[in-house]
Amino acid sequence: MVKWTDKERSTVRTVWESIDIDELGPEVLRRVLIVYPWTERYFGAFGDIFTTTAILQNPKVAAHGIVVLRALDQAVKNMDNIKDTYAALSRLHFEKLEVDPDNFRLLADCITISVACKLRAEMNPQVQATWQKFLQAVVDAMCAQYY
């Protein structure tokens, strides 16, 4: 289980509270698809996601970005139990969606960068360290049910 100081807990909550999921969600997933185009393999049902323009305009990408960030909310609310919180999601991503778990790391990096664009100087080195520690715990939990 990951240990959190009071400062770290409040940092994660503060960062999360300054994010609008409806705004950031689409941005994050667009970034993942544009910066790491091989991730397109998981979104065959989304229609045209093969050019930057198409990705930026695709409504299914935007909607799914929101779904993904809503799931991150669960981790913020259950910081002492992230592994159990994500057990079912991890199993789903392995057994049904067959997602290479390295993609969770790529998504985490894109989340950090999108949040950095929003928070700017507020994301000082300490805040960045705590936020990345948090996302690492989420990534580890998402990998935990792979076998």
Partner 1 sequence: MTSLTAKDKEVVKAFWAKVGGSAAELGSDALARLLVVYPQTKTYFSHWKDLSPGSAPVKKHGATIMNGVSDAVGKIDDLTGGLLSLSELHAFTLRVDPANFKIFAHNILVVLAINFPDDFTPSVHVAMDKFLAALARALAEKYR
Interaction pattern, residues 5-34, with partner 1; x per rule: CB under 8 A: -------------------------xx--x
Which residue, 56 or 87, is less far from partner 1 as judged by CB? 56
Cα–Cα distance measured from residue 86 to residue 65, given in angstroms and rounded to the nearest whole number: 17
Cα–Cα distance measured from residue 72 to residue 135, given in angstroms and rounded to the nearest whole number: 9
52 near partner 1 (CB under 8 A): yes
Quick check: 79 and 4 in contact, CB under 8 A? Answer: yes
Quick check: 70 and 22 in contact, CB under 8 A? Answer: no
Quick check: 105 and 143 in contact, CB under 8 A? Answer: no
In one letter, which amino acid is 126? Answer: Q
CB 117, min distance to partner 1, A: 4
Identify the residue among 13, 22, 23, 35 touching partner 1 (CB under 8 A). 35
Give the interface size with partner 1 as a residue count (CB under 8 A). Answer: 24
Which residue, 31 or 83, is less far from partner 1 as judged by CB? 31
Please, which residues have CB within 8 angstroms of residue 37's CB and are 6 or more apart in sequence? none
67 near partner 1 (CB under 8 A): no
Q: Which residues bind partner 1 (CB under 8 A)?
A: 30-31, 34-35, 52, 55-56, 109, 112-114, 116-121, 123-126, 128-129, 132
